[in-house]
Amino acid sequence: MIHFVLLINRQGKVRLTKWYSPYSQKERSKVIRELSGVITTRGPKLCNFVEWTGFKVVYRRYASLYFCMCIDQDDNELEILEIIHHYVEILDRYFGSVCELDLIFNFHKAYYILDEILIAGELQESSKKTVARLIAAQDSLVEAAKEQESSISNIIAQVTKRFTAEAAEIGEHFPAERFSIQGYRYTDVDVCNV
Amino acid sequence: MEQLKTIGRELAMGSQGGFGQSKEFLDLVKSIGEARSKAEEDRIVVHEIETLKRRIIEPDIPKRKMKEYIIRLVYVEMLGHDASFGYIHAVKMTHDDNILLKRTGYLAVTLFLNEDHDLIILIVNTIQKDLKSDNYLVVCAALNAVCRLINEETIPAVLPQVVELLGHPKEAVRKKAILALHRFYQRSPSSVSHLVSNFRKMLSDNDPGVMGASLCPLFDLITIDPNSYKDLVVIFVNILKQVAERRLAKTYDYHQVPAPFIQIKLLKVLALLGNGDKHASEHMYMVVRDIIKKCDPSSNIGNAVLYECVCCVSAIYPNTKLLEAAADAISRFLKSDSHNLKYMGIDALGRLINISPEVAEQHQLAVIDCLEDPDDTLKRKTFELLFKMTKSSNVEVIVAHMIDYMISITDSHYKTEIASRCVELAEQFAPSNHWFIQTMNKVFEHAGDLVNIKVANNLMRLIAEGFGADDDTADIQLRLSAVESYLRIVGEPKLPSVFLQVICWVLGEYGTVDGKYSASYITGKLCDVAEAHSSDDTVKAYAVTALMKIYAFEIAAGRKVEILPECQSLIEEMSASHSTDLQQRAYELQAVIGLDSHAVDSIMPLDASCEDIEVDKNLSFLSHYIQQSLETGAQPYIPEHERSQLPSISDFRGQGHQEASAHALRFEAYDLPKAPVSKPSPVSHPSSTELIPLPEPSYTSEIHPVSAVLPKSDAGSNKIKLRLDGVQKKWGKPSYSSATPSTSDFSSEKTVNGVSSMGVSYTSSKALDSSYESRKPRVEIPSEKQKLAASLFSGISKAEKRSISTSNKPTKVTAHIVDKPQSQKLAAAPNEIIAEKAAHPPPPDLLDLGELDNVSKAPSVDPFKQLEGLLEPGMSTSSAVALESDIMSLHTEMPTNSQVHKNDVVLGLANASDAGIAVAQPIQISKGPNVKDSLQKDALVRQMGVTPLSQNPNLFKDLLG
């Protein structure tokens, strides 16, 4: 069973934590402090496992981020290593070349995705497509809600648009459809595959 | 102009899906990202908490705003600060009808609350409602929360709904429902014990994800009781075979391995079922061998499956061919350059070594390499392996290594573990007493405070009793060497308390026995110990008792006692000590010194620590006295159980007693509010009371009864304690001062014996040494390492040869038995399985025969068939790729898909040509778009006002790049 998932960067800053076993807030801080000290100082060629107070912590480094999972003594470490990779691949697909910054600003999305992969400390879905489909279904809700809201913000937008073309120009700099495109792409895939 | 820019920025963010939060929040994240120290970060977060506290209680907050506050709370909590003031708002948000808000609410509560939190009770109702929702996304969100929040008490409230969801049309819901039930099982096995048949049924679900999920609870159930699930062996084997033959949908492939996570789970289950069961194991041999053969040793996931196969092979009834395959796999692991694989290899070796010890021998050097590796994790794993293969022949080398390592580390958890292992090995395999004492000394010296006190008692007993009762001279020798080594060590600073206790005891008991050391020398040392550790009462007590013994032996031997001035002052100091225990001992000592030699001899006989003391439990010698008292009008004694309201006498220790009495007086009603007292920090409480009137009254009302109870119980405990202290002194101690007749007329005759035997044992140990030396040079030509290897593994090979000759027979037999059915199986597998099934009909609860047949009898019309839209069984991967009409679906199967997005066509070509190049090429090519992509991101966040951090340029780096 996975006891917790921890994402920390090289400076030991926390990017995401998910606890599947009960830990008090105090214990959590202690765990993070101790583990970030141990893991971020380990050399690149050493094993990706650390034995830690009767548990094992499997970690894997992606660019500047460490993904760590704490497991029981008799779990299969290599498998956990691949579960981490599985998660990262799904994140990568979702965000499109995911980077640390994506996770910083969208940590709640990273949580939702994690919730579709792990539940109660067990791997619940090993098919990337199934996960992607569920996330896309949830995102379509967000889109729908946004459309509703935008009816209000449209009014504001129109008002501001009138002021100057400059504002609109600034707006155009943003690849605004990045996420929605991503969302549609998945549904496209689904249509083609099924 | 400035204003316009901010408007534009906000507009952009509004339409931009990802960074949908307000400027304020982005600024927070940004400033935390740029914080240079932990203190600065804390300051920012504290400020944020204050802002949120203020904002969140404002009336009429728009829901969208509230949602963001909740997410900001999550962020604060994630950074390790207390956000408990906002928990209630997260709970409220779960009640919302809007699914987006609900989802955020559920996310927040699952992150905030542990299952024992008081607020859970407010969510259960919502969860119940949501589990019945028509929208499966709502149900999913609720099930996520169920897994995290439902505790033993609330299980019955949601159990019926969750069970109902097992039949939900959406597989995502079924899957989560199973895992929720699994969670319930972990919380309270009895609550779902009647649902076991459901788990079995879900095993034949159409969706592989659901089937895979059902393996989790089944694994737990089988761990506890493998025998009731033996009928599932055939089914599991069948599923595993189908998975390995790529009958699952391709989306379950992971890096070209078919559904490896399901394979691993199945192999784990099979390992449990086949353990010690020859019949069940025979079903598994073929499929496990197939999987081992198919495993791709170049990928990580392939090795994960391979490792699980080795675990399975070493757990089930042994089969020679499989064992060989497993040994091959292990040697591949150990020879690999990857530390991960070496680690797995060492672990697997540790598993296999019980069955075929000869495997270890071929890997001696690899094991030694791992032992000397700078990687701590690998080293520890290797020590674990060595611990498993310790024999009396190699115990010295192994324990010496363990102790060296123990000294070098600071991690107290692991230090304790390795210390207890050293002790265990030393007790089990000690080649000589002398070695044992030396080893224990080292362990105590470096990890004394970490080892169990029992170990110290064992050591003292061993020194007192010796190994053989018939060989007194060896015992004397042992004691002498102990005394000598302790006198050497005792002056060292920072010795652990437990070790000092042992030293004091041994010096007191045996310090002057052989006449080598004078009483004044030993007593001087003991005084030094007591003075150096003046804060440790236990050590001082041991020291004083040791002094008393030495003086008593002197008096008994008729010598004149000279009390050193420092001893005198020590005794005086202790007789005025705050500790009644020390006082008592000091006065006893003074009393003993004043007695004549005859009396002392019977009070403190020499070397009588092992004498059995006959205890008159009925205290019959007191009956006369009692009779007398009763006659003069004393109250008769009332037995313990009759004065039930008085606290039990047995727990006289203050702490335990207080608690016990508190428990006796407290009732259920007082128990609940205890959690808020201990948990929330003082800062959070007042604010939460403003918002929630609920917990407050119960909190204050609770204080009164507790404070009222305390003084009472305190007084009670004090009274009892006083009385019992006296009892303890009278009846606890006399083990040493019992009046058993002295057995030791320790005359010169015996010492002569001792001396002569000393000579003998010296020569014998010399002989041993020389034989050891002669053994070493034989292998000395190669490096140090080989020497070490030889000393480590020599025992194994020797012992193992014997075991081979004995174990040869059974393994051969199994090979024989195994081979036959296998060839049969190859010929007519389905037939055999049907026959098998006929012979072992599964119990009725599974006998939904239709379903069963589906899985076991006719694998060709298996349940996964429907999902196999993409399956092209006959083709090799490369040709499949070439024929694949849909390029998009291709990249869903590919491992390096981050780049693949932009290079579908390139990859398709590359893949068709060569797998090896295929991986390398797209990465190279895709470098361009990646850089562009991250530049874009950079520009994006810059425009939003978030400047990239100078200390961490990696922020924009692709994680998979």
For chain A, the average pLDDT equals: 80
How confident is the model at residue B35, as a pLDDT? Answer: 80
Enumerate residues 6+ apart whose C-beta is below 8 A from B346.
B334, B367, B370, B378, B381, B382, B384, B385
Q: Which of A45, A82, A179 sits opposite B18 (nearest CB)?
A: A179
How confident is the model at residue B794, as a pLDDT? Answer: 62
Determine whether B704 is exposed, middle or buried from the number of CB atoms within 10 Å of its CB (0-12, 13-18, 19+).
Answer: exposed
Chains A and B: how many Cβ contacts under 8 Å? 304
- Which of B710, B711, B643, B716 shows the shortest CA–CA distance to B670? B710
Is the Cβ pair A78, B939 closer than 8 Å? no
Residues B923-939 have pLDDT tens digits of 443 434 455 666 666 66
Distances (CA, A) of B687 to B49, B87, B431, B697, B812: 12, 12, 67, 15, 75
Q: Does A104 touch chain B (CB under 8 A)?
A: yes
User: What is the C-alpha to C-alpha distance for residues B521 and B200, in angstroms, rounded to an integer?
Assistant: 75
Mean pLDDT check: name the lowest of B48-52, B509-513, B675-679, B780-784: B675-679
Distances (CA, A) of B228 to B214, B232, B235, B239, B847: 17, 9, 14, 19, 14
| Partners of A99 in beta bridges | B958
Q: Which residues of B touch A83 (CB under 8 A)?
A: 261
DSSP per-residue codes, A80-108: HHHHHHHHHHHHHHHHTS-BHHHHHHTHH
Q: Which of A46, A126, A179 sits opposite B17 (nearest CB)?
A: A179
Provide the residue ranges of all domains of chain A, joining segments of one domain with +.
2-126
Four-residue CA torsion sign, B946, B948, B954, B959:
positive
Which class is A2-126 in CATH?
alpha beta
Residue with tokens 């008593």: B552
Is the Cβ pair B75, A98 closer than 8 Å? no
Does residue B383 contact residue B402 with C-beta atoms inside 8 Å? yes
Is the Cβ pair A160, B958 closer than 8 Å? no
Burial readout B535-568 (b: 16 or more C-beta within 10 A, e: otherwise) = ebbbbbbbbbbbbbbbbbbbbbeeeeeebbeebe
User: What is the C-alpha to C-alpha distance for residues B78 and B82, in angstroms, rounded to an integer?
Assistant: 9
Enumerate residues 6+ apart whose C-beta is below 8 A from B312.
B267, B268, B270, B271, B274, B284, B288
Residue with tokens 């963001």: B68
What does the longest C-alpha to C-alpha distance in chain B come to?
Answer: 111
Residues B375-426 have pLDDT tens digits of 888 888 898 888 888 888 888 888 888 888 888 888 788 888 888 888 888 8
φ, ψ for residue A9 (rounded to 5)? -100, -175
Cα distance from N-terminal residue to C-terminal residue, chain A:
33
User: What is the C-alpha to C-alpha distance for residues B199 and B181, in angstroms, rounded to an integer?
Assistant: 9
Does residue B382 contact residue B399 with C-beta atoms inside 8 Å? no
Determine whether B291 is exposed, middle or buried from the number of CB atoms within 10 Å of its CB (0-12, 13-18, 19+).
Answer: buried
Q: Which residue of chain A has the CA closest to B2?
A: A167
Higher pLDDT, B247 or B477: B247
> Is a pLDDT exceeding 50 seen at residue B797?
no
Mean pLDDT check: name the lowest of A185-194, B101-110, B494-503, B929-938: A185-194
Winning range, highest mean pLDDT, from B157-166, B878-887, B937-946? B157-166
- Which of B909, B260, B888 shows the shortest CA–CA distance to A93? B888
Higher pLDDT, B462 or B15: B462
Mutate to test the interface with B, among A29, A77, A101, A141 (most CBs of B within 10 A): A101
How confident is the model at residue B670, as a pLDDT? Answer: 52
Residues B357-375 have pLDDT tens digits of 888 888 888 888 888 888 8
Q: Measured at the alpha carbon of residue B189, what is the angle toward residues B187 and B195, in degrees to the nearest 5?
A: 120
Q: Does A86 touch chain B (CB under 8 A)?
A: yes
Residues B471-487 have pLDDT tens digits of 677 777 778 888 888 88
Higher pLDDT, B181 or B566: B181
Residues B63-94 have pLDDT tens digits of 888 988 999 999 999 888 888 899 999 999 99
Does residue B62 contact residue B93 with C-beta atoms inside 8 Å? no
Q: Which amino acid is at B588?
A: E
Q: Does A148 touch chain B (CB under 8 A)?
A: no
What average pLDDT does this structure show over B888-895? 43
Q: Which of B147, B261, B936 sits opposite A120 (nearest CB)?
A: B147
Percent of chain B with pLDDT over 70: 64
Residues A30-72 have pLDDT tens digits of 999 999 989 998 888 888 999 888 899 999 999 889 999 999 9
Q: Using CA atoms of B749, B750, B756, B760 in order, give the dihedral in degrees to the nearest 10.
A: 160
φ, ψ for residue A119 (rounded to 5)? -145, 135
Is the Cβ pair A78, B888 closer than 8 Å? no
Q: Measured at the alpha carbon of residue B422, what is the angle toward residues B416 and B427, in degrees to the nearest 5?
A: 125
Residue with tokens 């304690």: B721
Is the Cβ pair B886, A81 closer than 8 Å? no
User: What is the C-alpha to C-alpha distance for residues B900 and B919, in angstroms, rounded to an integer?
Assistant: 10
Does residue B482 contact residue B510 with C-beta atoms inside 8 Å? yes
User: What is the C-alpha to C-alpha distance for residues B485 and B510, in angstroms, rounded to an integer?
Assistant: 13
Mean pLDDT check: name the lowest of A155-164, B447-456, B566-575: A155-164
User: What is the C-alpha to C-alpha distance for residues B480 and B507, in angstroms, rounded to an integer?
Assistant: 10
**Orientation of helix B497-510 relative to helix B537-556, angle to 10°:** 10
Residues B106-164 have pLDDT tens digits of 999 999 998 888 888 889 999 999 999 999 999 999 999 999 999 888 999 999 999 99
User: What is the C-alpha to C-alpha distance for residues B221 and B228, in angstroms, rounded to an integer?
Assistant: 9
Q: Which of B13, B892, B897 sits opposite A92 (nearest CB)?
A: B897
Q: Which amino acid is at B435?
A: W
Mutate to test the interface with B, among A18, A65, A174 (most CBs of B within 10 A): A174
Residue with tokens 């799904």: A90
Q: What is the DSSP letter of B316?
A: B
Helix locations, B840-955, DSSP H: 849-856, 877-883, 887-893, 897-900, 904-913, 915-943
> Is a pLDDT exceeding 80 seen at residue B178?
yes
User: What is the C-alpha to C-alpha distance for residues B695 and B171, in angstroms, rounded to an integer?
Assistant: 40
Q: Which of B186, B249, B304 sits opposite A79 (nearest CB)?
A: B304
Determine whether B869 is exposed, middle or buried from the number of CB atoms within 10 Å of its CB (0-12, 13-18, 19+).
Answer: exposed
Q: Which residues of A touch B175 (CB under 8 A)?
A: 124-125
Enumerate residues 6+ apart whose C-beta is below 8 A from B764.
none
Enumerate residues 6+ apart whose C-beta is below 8 A from B423.
B440, B443, B451, B455
